[in-house]
Structure 1
Amino acid sequence: MSATTTTAPARADAPRTVLGRSNRHWLLVGLGLVFALALPWFVYPPVAMDIAAWALFAVALDLLLGYAGLLSFGHAAFWGGSAYVAGLAALQWGLPFPLAALLGAAFAMALAYPIGLLSVRRTGIYFAMVTLAFAQMLFFVVNQWRGVTGGENGLQGVPRSFFGIEAVETDAFWFYYAALPLILLGMWFAWRVVHSPFGRVLVATRDNPARARALGYDVDRYRVLVFVLSAGLAGLAGGLFAISHGFVSLQEVSWQTSGKVVLITVLGGIGTLWGAVVGAVIIVLLEDTLASSGFEGIGIITGSVFILVVLLFRRGVWGTVTDLLASRRGRGRPTEDSVAAEDGEGPTS
């Protein structure tokens, strides 16, 4: 009788726990969609598009860093390489921008496969340096191949063709809404990867690769695959970013771009996905505000903000906030703690 009495409440609480988690998840998704749809009404539409593109870029890096434990300093190769391919496809072949951006993403994935095969044999700072070296090689190729890439002048006059719809092609406001489904699709794909069995194995390879190998998982194979998927999402973001601006510059393949996306990801919170969006909003709006005011030391301010966040919010803005909410909601209820932690979109490192 006593055993029955103690176990019955646990069974009764389980459905409510799952239901509460599901409700919080869908509420968060709904608020995110409302934010995305309302964004160009409150900020300049090209800036809204920059936020969306950088958010997807940071989500792509977080997929690699937060869930596979691999820090890449060369992701600008995929963002920028896709930007050039998408720009050339729109400029030379007249492809509608969704097809051009998807072609750029495919190029980024094809480029990432051999780089991943050579890079994932290393971890930590060695992996970061190898990816940076490959990105610098691409930077050199783009800079020297002036007949195709324009060299230091970049690609100018990239059109925003969209199946003959003039409003989208000429108005940044409508272009944002035409490009938003691709951004949201990329974010949904990242979320789906994280919450799949593949994502669980990724976390295992991050936390204890030796044990994952002992269980029969090919750790290098999983890492190469997530590296390629991350590159594809970064390429999709880079292609949309380039077409939105109407030009592609060497800045897109520079190491500063790789550093900026790392800053955004760490600022928002590693291993959360939502943190990448928060970090992109903070950095892009901060840079735009400072640039509009004529302030020249933008790097000093963004660097100072990054230092403050690292010191005060050890798990990033989003990670720290979700931890605080989880601790308050689950005080004295361990089951709720674990469920609330997952509402931050997955495991954190």
Structure 2
Amino acid sequence: MTTTHTTSATQLPSVVQERQRRAKLRRNMFYLVLLAMGLVAPFVAYPVFLMKILCFALFACAFNLLLGYAGLLSFGHAAFLATGGYVTGYLLASYPGLTPELGILAGTLMATLLGVLFGVLSIRRQGIYFAMVTLALAQLMFFVFVQSSFTGGEDGLHGVPRGHLFGVIDLSSNLAMYYFVFAVFVFGFAVIQRTVHSPFGQVLKAIRENEPRAVSLGYNVDAYKLLAFVLSAALAGLAGSTKTVVFQLASLTDAHWHMSGEVILMTLLGG
């Protein structure tokens, strides 16, 4: 009898591991199919429309990292999307010799810094209080964008040049621009997947499910939530920066509070 129980106990972990391996294999196959579809998509659909989808998909994935895995509802993510877009648009329009990847990098870094500031001010709040603080901070940024000269005020920034990627590849072609945007999306999505399937991601899930228990286990939950918030802000900024290069435009639409509401709906509908 004891031998039977021992055998069952030793077999159970192997069964679980086998199921996890098969699930991972199915997930990877699904991603490969999506990758193949993405590579051929511009030949069967309008590339500009596809690029818009990819930019907002990255924005939604960035938000889902915060809501779906850390359990934090932010009403201010439009601020990061707009910050990335405005910084990239301003730099590319003001410095013609600047290549687009450097402009996008600068916009992403600025959104990351803003994420650190927002996170420090809001991360100790919970529930609706956290959401309201992020909304207030985002509205503050909206008024900054309205009043600032470098953003073009209510007119925004127009005619942002796409330029040459690495100084070589001309992005004025929609096909070349599409594959660049697709590469940016794949990079951002890979970062998110690596994060959520890492030990860091497991801790985030534990905090989402039972924060007091995570605290009792010795985790610094505020530090974990802050890191998740900053990473989400950085990826949202990356989406905004890329979107500005695609449409050669940065406007107040991306900074408005309704954009924060739209990304919540995107995330909820997309799962």
Question: What TM-score range do you get, normalising by the shorter chain?
Answer: over 0.9
Q: Where do residues 18-167 of structure 1 align in structure 2 (5 Å cutoff)?
A: 18-94=20-96, 95-145=98-148, 147-162=149-164, 163-165=166-168
Cα shift at 1:174: 1.4
Counterpart among 207, 210, 218 of residue 208 in structure 1: 210
Render the CA deviation track for 1:187-215: whole Å, top value 9, x for unaligned.
10111110111111111111111111111
Give the paired residue count. 267
Render the CA deviation track for 1:43-79: whole Å, top value 9, x for unaligned.
2111110111111100100000011111111000000
CA pair 139-23 structure 1, distance change in 2 beyond 3 A: same
CA pair 7-241 structure 1, distance change in 2 beyond 3 A: same
1:131 alignment partner AA: T
Cα shift at 1:22: 3.1
Render the CA deviation track for 1:68-114: whole Å, top value 9, x for unaligned.
11111100000001100011121112322122111111000101112
Is the CA contact 1:56–1:183 (under 8 Å) kept in the aligned structure 2?
A: yes
With 68-77 and 216-225 compared, the bigger mean Cα shift is at 216-225
CA pair 2-208 structure 1, distance change in 2 beyond 3 A: closer
Distance in 2 (alpha carbons) for counterparts of 1:11 and 1:217: 26
Distance in 2 (alpha carbons) for counterparts of 1:208 and 1:14: 24
Distance in 1 (alpha carbons) for counterparts of 2:233 and 2:11: 47
Query: Partner residue of 2:173?
Result: 171
Is the CA contact 2:54–2:181 (under 8 Å) kept in the aligned structure 1?
A: no
Is the CA contact 1:159–1:169 (under 8 Å) kept in the aligned structure 2?
A: no
Query: Partner residue of 1:254?
Result: 256
CA pair 113-17 structure 1, distance change in 2 beyond 3 A: same
| SS of corresponding position for 1:121 | coil
Distance in 2 (alpha carbons) for counterparts of 1:115 and 1:104: 16
Is the CA contact 1:53–1:240 (under 8 Å) kept in the aligned structure 2?
A: yes
1:121 alignment partner AA: R
2:226 alignment partner AA: V
Cα shift at 1:10: 4.3
Render the CA deviation track for 1:261-292: whole Å, top value 9, x for unaligned.
111000011xxxxxxxxxxxxxxxxxxxxxxx
1:203 alignment partner AA: K
Is the CA contact 2:73–2:127 (under 8 Å) kept in the aligned structure 1?
A: yes
Query: Partner residue of 2:187?
Result: 185
Q: Which runs of 5+ in 1 are unaligned?
A: 270-349
Counterpart among 225, 243, 246 of residue 244 in structure 1: 246
Quick one: percent identity of the two aligned structures? 45
CA pair 46-66 structure 1, distance change in 2 beyond 3 A: same
Higher relative contact order (CA 8 A, sep 6+): 2
Q: Which runs of 5+ in 2 are unaligned?
A: none
> RMSD over aligned Cα, in angstroms?
1.8
Q: Output the TM-score relative to the length of structure 2.
A: 0.92
| SS of corresponding position for 1:170 | coil
Q: Output the TM-score relative to the length of structure 1.
A: 0.73
Is the CA contact 2:77–2:260 (under 8 Å) kept in the aligned structure 1?
A: yes
1:122 alignment partner AA: R
